[in-house]
Amino acid sequence: MENKYIYVMLSQTQTKFARCIRKVGKQKYNHAAIALDDSLSEIYAFARPQHNAIFLGRLVCESVERYTLRRGFPVPVVLLRIPVSEEEHAWIRTTIDTMLENPEYMYNLFSILTYPLFRGFATYKAFTCMEFVTYLLQHSGYLRDKLRFRYTPDELLCDFTPEVVYSGDIRGCLPDIRESDRYFAPVDMKIFLESIKSIFRITGRSLCRRKALMP
């Protein structure tokens, strides 16, 4: 039976938060996303559903404009092409669809904020971008040396260097699909209230359900 492939993109995103993560963590890359075919027309990551909603995060389908913020600056990325079985590829597709449809899945905010101190921690139905990619790879038989929240993008690149198929600006990698203007809109009352609710939910989970490694 022939292997199928998944595509993992590591990037240097250009937000202030991202630059802080790279500086504090002494990392070259700070963000990870995954696609299921070589068109990269659908690439998924745990990230903000709206740019200005800094405390709100979930699984989203990303685009070039989310990375460049429509400002035209270069965004360095590296793309990995990783073989998986047909069964694992189907499982990853099902897992992504489930997380997209279920609002219980959220960004593991405190795991990333406290990473310099605690080196990350698992939270029930919550992932950082890197935890999400590592979770899928571990289910496919890769990266079994550490818990999923211990890995960094730079470590992932080191483990998969032979699988690199592209390195350069993101616009030479992802198709030019226009992002909805909604992503760049100012925070309204709905997003504000959703962000507050999200903070309470992730705080409760981080304090009370940290040991739940499986989603």
**With contact defined as beta carbons under 8 Å apart, do 164 and 79 qualify?**
yes
2, pLDDT greater than 80:
no
73, pLDDT greater than 80:
yes
Tokens of 185: 């809109």
Tokens of 119: 């080196």
DSSP 30-51: -EEEEESSTT-SSEEEEE-SST
136, pLDDT greater than 70:
yes
Overall fold of domain 4-208:
endopeptidase fold (from Nostoc punctiforme) (3.90.1720)
* Rounded CA separation 50/76 (Å): 22
If you average pLDDT over every residue of the chain, what do you get?
Answer: 91
* Rounded CA separation 71/189 (Å): 26
Share of the chain above pLDDT 90, in %: 69
Query: What one-character DSSP code corresponds to residue 147?
Result: -
209, pLDDT greater than 80:
no
213, pLDDT greater than 50:
no
Contacts of 43 (CB under 8 A, 6+ apart): 7, 9, 33, 34, 35, 61, 62, 174
- Label the pairing between strands 4-11 and 43-47: unpaired
* Rounded CA separation 161/23 (Å): 23
Contacts of 179 (CB under 8 A, 6+ apart): 63, 64, 65, 66, 70
Q: 17-31, 82-96, 180-194: which range is least confident on average? A: 17-31
24, pLDDT greater than 60:
yes
83, pLDDT greater than 60:
yes
In this structure, the chain runs to a length of: 215
69, pLDDT greater than 70:
yes
6, pLDDT greater than 60:
yes
Q: Write down the pLDDT at residue 212.
A: 47
210, pLDDT greater than 60:
no
Amino acid at 126: A
Q: Is 174 left (phi over 0), alpha (psi -120 to 50) or beta?
A: beta
**Interval 101-119: pLDDT, tens:** 999 999 999 988 888 777 8
Q: Write down the pLDDT at residue 166.
A: 98
Q: Write down the pLDDT at residue 64.
A: 94
Q: 1-5, 54-58, 123-127, 191-195: which range is least confident on average? A: 1-5
Share of the chain above pLDDT 70, in %: 96
**With contact defined as beta carbons under 8 Å apart, do 51 and 183 qualify?**
yes
**With contact defined as beta carbons under 8 Å apart, do 32 and 130 qualify?**
yes
23 CA to centre of own chain: 19
| Averaged pLDDT for residues 81-92 | 97
